């Protein structure tokens, strides 16, 4: 509308100017000049009525945006979401977690899973915030594994903490019992080794030993077997007597009947010495007449251990 008014104002102005020019050029024809003057004056009046400043004022004012422009400006601008700088790292952890989780479960809880192949995925590795989480199962026990950008180690825990505490307590008790059994077996083996070593050193087995008191004398007798594998000379049995409380009373020697005693040969012995009413127990050992004690063992122990 503003453009149309401006156009009319411009046309009227041109008509007024043309009317004046033609009026001055048509001096000989007064009527014609009068007509052109009247026309130009009318054009001036019309141009004034048209109010040409409106166009100028409208042109000077900033254009009012249209409704479509307002709607377009008010519409929310669609912005592409920012790329998470850790997205690639989390995807890498997502690929690494399954194998690491299975390995850790089989290593820490080998009594539930002997190897990673015995660990099965229940919930696949999923990215949650700055970490990756998954759930696995070994036998009937579920575990939760997580791997974070802030740590290089897999965080492993029982999915059901109450069940986990019970299982660990049972396993601890079983391990303690196993350790106790192992220690007992080791002790038995140590004793057996000691006995075996002793057996290897035994040269004489005491098959029998008896003593008795008759009036004022003590009689001793028995027999021994040479198990050394070689002939043994000048052997004797030394018998020591003690009171009931272990106080030493006296000792006496009894010579073996055979001298030498051949390998695997059994030789009897007997002796007699003055007695003492306080004698309560007697201990025998085999020795060389002019030497030291010889390793000996009673028949019952030898047969059982050696």
Q: What CATH number corresponds to the domain at position 270?
A: 2.60.40.10
Residue 188 has pLDDT above 70, yes or no: yes
Domain co-membership, 209 together with 275: yes
- At 147, is the pLDDT very low, low, confident or very high (cuts 50, 70, 90)? very high
DSSP class of 140: T
List Cα–Cα distances, 102 to 31, 107, 118, 264, 269, in angstroms. 117, 9, 8, 65, 75
Q: Would the pLDDT of 108 be above 80? A: yes
Task: Please enumerate, as own/partner, the contacts of 102-110 that have beta carbons within 8 Å and a separation of 24 or more.
Answer: 102/136, 104/145, 104/154, 104/156, 105/136, 105/138, 105/143, 105/145, 105/156, 106/138, 108/156, 109/138, 109/141, 109/143
Q: Residue 102: left (phi > 0), alpha (psi -120 to 50), or beta?
A: alpha
Domain count of the fold of the chain? 3
Inside any domain, residue 40: yes
Give the burial class of 280: count Cβ atoms within 10 A of its Cβ; 0-12 exposed, 13-18 middle, 19 or more buried. middle
| Residue 115 lies inside a defined structural domain of this protein | yes
The answer to which of 50-54, 148-152, 282-286, 297-301 has the lowest mean pLDDT is 50-54
125 and 212 belong to one structural domain: no
- The verdict on 10 and 106 lying in the same domain is no
219, 295: one domain: yes
Task: Identify whether 249 is part of a domain.
Answer: yes
Position 24 scores a pLDDT of 60
Residue range(s) defining the domain that contains residue 289:
201-305
Q: Is 82 helix (H, G, I), strand (E, B) or coil?
A: coil
Quick one: tokens of 229? Answer: 């594998």
pLDDT tens for each residue of 228-266? 999 999 999 999 999 999 999 999 999 999 999 999 999
- Among the three residues 41, 60, 79, which one is the final residue of a domain in this structure? 60
Could you tell me the pLDDT band of residue 11, with boundaries at 50, 70 and 90?
confident
71 within some domain? no
- Mean pLDDT, residues 10-25: 68
pLDDT surpassing 80 at residue 138: yes
**Exposed/middle/buried for residue 204 (C-beta within 10 Å: 0-12, 13-18, 19+):** buried
Is residue 158 located within the same domain as residue 232?
A: no
| φ and ψ of 120, to 5 deg | -120, 145
Please compute the mean of the pLDDT values over residues 137-160 and round it to a whole number: 94
| Confidence at 59, pLDDT banded by 50, 70, 90 | very low
Residues 55 and 92 in one domain: no
pTM listed for this prediction? 0.44
């Amino acid at each position: 509308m503003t453009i149309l008014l401006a156009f009319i104002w411009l046309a009227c102005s041109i008509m007024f100017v043309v009317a004046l020019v033609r009026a001055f050029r048509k001096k000989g024809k007064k009527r014609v000049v009068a007509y052109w003057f009247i026309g130009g004056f009318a054009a001036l009046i019309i141009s004034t009525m048209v109010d040409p400043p409106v166009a100028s004022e409208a042109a000077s004012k900033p254009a009012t945006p249209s409704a479509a422009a307002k709607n377009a400006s008010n519409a929310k601008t669609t912005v592409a979401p920012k790329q998470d700088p850790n997205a690639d790292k989390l995807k890498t952890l997502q690929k690494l977690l399954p194998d690491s989780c299975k390995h850790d479960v089989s290593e820490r809880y080998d009594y539930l899973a002997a190897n990673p192949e015995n660990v099965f995925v229940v919930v696949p590795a999923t990215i949650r915030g700055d970490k990756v989480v998954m759930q696995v199962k070994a036998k009937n026990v579920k575990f939760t594994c997580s791997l974070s950008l802030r740590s290089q180690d897999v965080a492993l825990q029982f999915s059901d903490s109450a069940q986990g505490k019970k299982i660990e307590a049972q396993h601890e008790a079983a391990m303690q019992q196993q350790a106790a059994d192992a220690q007992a077996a080791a002790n038995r083996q140590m004793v057996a080794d000691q006995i075996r070593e002793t057996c290897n050193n035994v040269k004489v087995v005491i098959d029998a030993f008896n003593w008795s008191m008759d009036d004022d004398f003590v009689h001793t007798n028995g027999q021994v077997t040479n198990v050394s594998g070689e002939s043994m000379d000048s052997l004797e049995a030394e018998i020591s007597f003690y009171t009931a409380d272990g106080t030493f009373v006296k000792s006496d020697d009894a010579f073996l009947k055979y001298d030498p005693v051949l390998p695997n040969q059994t030789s009897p012995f007997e002796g007699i010495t003055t007695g003492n009413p306080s004698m309560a127990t007697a201990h025998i050992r085999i020795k060389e007449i002019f030497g030291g004690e010889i390793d000996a063992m009673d028949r019952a122990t030898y047969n059982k251990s050696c």
